[in-house]
Every structure is written in C-alpha cells, then in structure tokens.
Structure 1
Amino acid sequence: MTHYTRSLSLFMFVSILGGCVLQPELIGESLPTDSGPVSSDGHSTELTHGDVSATTTLTSTGTTVAPGPDEYGASCQLLGVPESVQSKAISLQPDCAGGICVFQFEDTAPPCSDDSDCAAPWPTCEGNFCDLDQEFVAASSRCTQNCEEDADCPAIPGCASETVCTPATLLAPLCCEKVCLCTDDLNIGSMQALEQMCQQPGTCGP
C-alpha cells in the first residue's frame, strides 16, 4: 500500500480527494482478496446483485447477513466526482441511508507505455500510467455514514480489519466530517495527517 497516488496528490494539495468541486480521494469498504471477503470468524462469502458483487458476513449460526439496497455497506454510485476516478473518492449520496458514498483505494497506478504493461484493476494505459477500471470503482463504492467516534461505526461487510471514525476529505461539502471507514486499504499516515489538519482553525473555511 503506497502513501500517495496521482489523484491523492491532487486531493491532498488542492486544499491540503477546499474547493467546492468534489475530487477523487480511497475510502469505504475493503477490497475483496483473491479468496473473497473474509468475515470475523475467518469464513469467506460473497453475494452477487446483477453485475455488482456485495460482500456479506457469516454469523456464528451459519447465516449470512448482507446490507440491503442503499443500507450501510451496500454498493452505491459516487456523485459529483470526475468521470474517471483514479484514487479514493467520497461524495454525498441521498440514496444511501447514511447519505454518503465512498470508494476506498490507495494503490499507485503503475507506469506504462502501452496496455501490455497494465493489469487489473488498471487494464489500460492512459498517458504514462495505467488507468483504473471504472467498473471496479463502481463495484467497490459503498454507502457509509457520519460518526463521532469509532464505537459509532458498525462492522462493514467484507472488512477484514477494523472500522474507524475519521475525516475523509478537505473538500466541501464533507470537509473534515468524520465518517466510518474500513482500515483494510486505508493509509494510516495519510489518515493521521488529515485528522491533524482538521484540528486547525479555518481548515474548512470561515
């Protein structure tokens, strides 16, 4: 996991993913591993809704629990972000129960000279770097919610590590608002830097 991507640099230093236009920035639910999402008891399971895979958790009774449409942890569509998302991104999403949609991803796009240099989830070469698959972005974006502390954040289906309550962006309209995020793919250093900036007066404007 790298500390910065091309889009993260834009996100962190336009105001640091505050202008008024929401820019890409990772955040949200964990990305599935090759063996599938892993629940707290070590079981992997997956539920597919059409072309989008929604991860589930396996309870001690052997039953699966998956978020319903638009519920916390369910797939969602980012709004007001650039057409091509290349890093983590967050936006308001009224269809989500918590009102927020987030895409959490911080790997660096590989350099390339043509498509043969690229592999999933960067299938094509765009300029000097591989381009992130936007279907991957859509399938990995999840509904989340505001919070005050970690205890306010329920487990996120498919998240193998912990769920934390932390600021996600310096851009309006969610500047420095705390939201629930999975730490599977969260850059801890970037998260701590953002938390420190959000403690400074005037970070989000007057």
Structure 2
Amino acid sequence: MTHCTRSVSSLMFVSILGGCVLQPDPIGESLSVADSTDSTHAELSGGIAMTTSGTTVAPGEGEYGASCQLLGVPESVQSKAISLQPDCAGGICVFQFEDTPPPCSDDSDCAAPWPTCDGDFCELDQNFVAASSRCTQNCEEDADCPAIPGCASEAVCAPATLLAPLCCEKVCLCGDDLSLGATADLENLCQQPGTCGP
C-alpha cells in the first residue's frame, strides 16, 4: 500500500476517470429547504441560503457543497482525491485532506480519522472519506466560488491535480483544508508548458 509523504507528487489529488474539460457550471437558485429553527432565509451566491440567525442551510442532493461519491478512485482513499461526478451540478466531486497518517505498530497507536493500523501507518476511515467528499465546480478566480457549507474560511479557486482529466483545472476548494505552500507549488507547475501533456 502506498502512503502519503510530504512531496509535491503526494500533494496532488487522485484522478482516474477520463473525460472532457469541464466549463464553469452555474448552480441552482436559492434552496427551498428552510432551517428548522428559523424559516426566514435569504439567498446567497451559488444557491446557498442563510437564515436570519446567520446559519447556513445544507445544500440539496447534487448541489454545490453537497455530499458526493468519488468515482474511479482507489478502493481505499488515503489522501486527497478528486473525480468527475455527473451527479454533482458542477460535475466534480472532491475530498480534501492535508494531514499525513501517523506511523503505527498496532491499532492502539491510531485515533480518528485513522482508526486502524496496517502495520506501518494508520489508515484513513473510509466512512470519513465518504462523509467529507463534496460536490464542487470549475472556476477562474476566488470570486467564482460561493461559500462552502461547513467551511469556516473562504472558498479558494485553485488547481487540484496534475492527473487527467482534471489536470490543472481550477476548482472551488475549502481554504480550511489547503496547504498554501502545496497549492502555490501546484499552481507554479501548472504554469509550465507541457505539464498536462501536449
């Protein structure tokens, strides 16, 4: 099994599916789901609604920021991953996770979100991966990215992988989960001719 190490190649997202380049996809109108404690809500950009008390309403199935299933990625995701996902309004599903799994000799050395030991490193809980994977969309700049439900910081428009079919495609990502250094390195690589092939 391959484990995460802090190198530029390991900080890239996994992408295995083939496909065409996605264009920015506008997402829905305001949500019709009301907060259980406050039925008055106002539309924010990107179809995310906020109640008058300041709480955000969870996105509907397939909408920007909603849970999604990664397609075509390894059976056991141990790092960041991204895939095309037709069930998402923006056509992309992403799992963001920067932390490196701790070394271990048995399960007692591991804690959430790495509950088990494979003999060398703690393995990421796949239920955590599934619960943390979110629909996203293409973008050109940060202003194209609506707020992401559950993300405390601003959404950032950045490339997510050097692997096809999303090589150097900019997508909306939660700033909470980004390593500024790794993101800058990836953006610099994407400026180099031939990075994504001829």
Category of TM-score, reference length = shorter chain = 0.7 to 0.9
Instruction: Pick the structure with greater CA Rg.
Output: 2
The one-letter amino acid of 1:21's match is: I
Distance 1:136 1:190, change over 3 A: same
Cα deviation per residue 1:149-190 (whole Å; 9 max; x = unaligned)? 111000000110111110000000000000000110111100
**In the alignment, is residue 13 of structure 1 matched against residue 9 of structure 2?**
yes
1:159 matched residue in structure 2: 151
Question: What are structure 1's unaligned runs of at least 5 residues?
Answer: 23-44, 46-55
Equivalent residue number for residue 95 of structure 1? 87
Query: Shift of residue 118 of structure 1?
Result: 0.6
Query: 1:94-147, CA deviations, whole angstroms, 9 ceiling, x for partnerless residues?
Result: 000000000000111011000111111100001300000000000000000000
Residue identity matched to 2:9: F
**Is contact 1:8–1:87 with CA below 8 Å preserved after alignment?**
no
Q: Is the 8 A contact 2:115 2:125 kept in 1?
A: yes
- Please report how far the alpha carbon of residue 59 of structure 1 lies from its aligned counterpart in structure 2 after TM superposition: 3.1
1:18-29 superposed matches below 5 A = 21=16
Bigger relative contact order (CA 8 A; separation at least 6): 1
Partners of 1:144 and 1:159 in 2: CA distance: 13
Other-structure match for 1:106: 98
Q: How does 1:77-156 map to 2 (within 5 A)?
A: 77-156=69-148
- Partner residue in 1 for 2:169: 177
Q: Does the CA contact (< 8 Å) of 2:56 and 2:149 recur in 1?
A: no
Q: Is the 8 A contact 1:161 1:183 kept in 2?
A: yes
Checking the alignment, whether the CA contact within 8 Å between 2:62 and 2:135 is kept in structure 1 is: yes
SS in 2 for 1:151: helix
Instruction: Tell me, in whole angstroms, the C-alpha distance in 1 between the residues paired with 2:162 and 2:186.
Output: 8
Cα RMSD of the aligned pairs, angstroms, is 2.6
The amino acid of 2:16's aligned partner reads V
For residue 113 of structure 1, give the secondary structure of its aligned residue in structure 2. Answer: coil
Unaligned runs of 5+ in 2: 18-36, 38-47
Ranges of 4+ aligned residues in structure 1 off by more than 6 Å? none
Counterpart Cα distance in 2 of 1:57 and 1:114: 45
Say if 1:88 and 1:105, in contact at 8 Å, map to a contact too.
yes
